[in-house]
Amino acid sequence: MGEYITVDGEEIKAGTCEEMLYVRRDEMEQWVRDGRAAAIPGNAPPATLVAVADRLFWRFPWPWEDEHDVFAIREREPFTTGGTCGDFEPPDGIEIPHARITAHFQWKGGGGGVNVYVPCPATLKYAQGPLGERKRGSGVELCSKASPRIQVRSVGKGGATLFACSYCEVLFYLDAAELARLIGADTFSSMYAGDRYEPQREGRAAIVARLRPLASDAQEATR
């Protein structure tokens, strides 16, 4: 179910269900404080969204979106809050949760299909299993070895940054020590989102400054 509000009389889509894919938390809070946001019948009032903000997932505050007005927000690609954004290899010492991946194959003549389940390609289980040992011509082909990669996905509980595995898309948080290890790693050298590429230095520093760990008092209930 989509969530719609008006800002300065202009209707915009904030997100779908608990995922605010188009709007950042700081934007919604500012609109409510300034009295610029209003409810649309059948949708959650903006003040309610702010009141339950810790239970929702908000768009990550990409620096290049800081000056977006309502019309620019309407044009935002919802999945640049995740998907291809901030794809990088994690350093040792950060354990990433994974899930199996499903591929669906449909019969050429229509009708029923078949689901094939495999472990996430970034896991050791996949590399050591029979799929990882198959070679070209054996019925299963590996295009390349999949290395663990994670993405900046959104902002979640308590303002903490929510990450995801780039392959199976399982969501997870990092604690303060893990986040510090990630930021200090050589593999975390650049970030990109959609058609925007932010090289290391200015782009990296601006994004790093906005990454937040999960608070210690929330870790037990969340992870």
pLDDT over 60 (residue 114): yes
Residue 44 has pLDDT above 50, yes or no: yes
Is residue 89 within 8 A of residue 182, CB to CB? The reply is: no
Say how far apart CA 199 and CA 66 lie, in whole Å: 18
CA atoms within 13 A on the CB side of 178: 19
**71 found inside a domain:** yes
Residue 83 lies inside a defined structural domain of this protein: no
Q: Which of 108, 88, 195 is nearest to 149 (CA)?
A: 88
- Rounded Cα distance between 164 and 82, Å, is 8
Domain presence at residue 82? no
**90 assigned to some structural domain:** no
Query: How many Å apart are CA 208 and CA 188, to the nearest integer?
Result: 10
Residues 133 and 107 in one domain: yes
Q: Do residues 25 and 64 share a domain?
A: yes
Model pLDDT for residues 163-197, shown as the tens digit of each residue: 888 888 899 999 999 998 888 876 665 555 444 54
Q: What is the residue-averaged pLDDT of the chain?
A: 79
Query: What residue has token string 């472990």?
Result: 119
Q: Which of 148-152, 168-172, 200-204 has the lowest mean pLDDT?
A: 200-204
Specify the pLDDT at position 208: 81
Q: Does residue 156 share a domain with residue 138? A: no
* Domain extent for 63: 2-76
What local confidence, expressed as pLDDT, does residue 219 receive? 54
**DSSP reduced 3-state for 155:** strand
| In a domain? residue 87 | no
> Are 68 and 53 in the same domain?
yes
Going by pLDDT thresholds of 50, 70 and 90, the confidence category of residue 206 is confident
Question: Could you tell me if 61 and 107 lie in one domain?
Answer: no
| pTM higher than the cut 0.85 | no
Residue 111's pLDDT band, with cuts at 50, 70 and 90, is confident
Higher pLDDT, 141 or 114: 114
122 versus 70: which is more confidently predicted? 70
Domain count of the chain? 3
Q: In whole angstroms, how far apart are CA 23 and each of 142, 167, 187, 193? A: 38, 25, 29, 16
For range 26-46, the mean pLDDT: 96
Same structural domain for residues 159 and 140? no
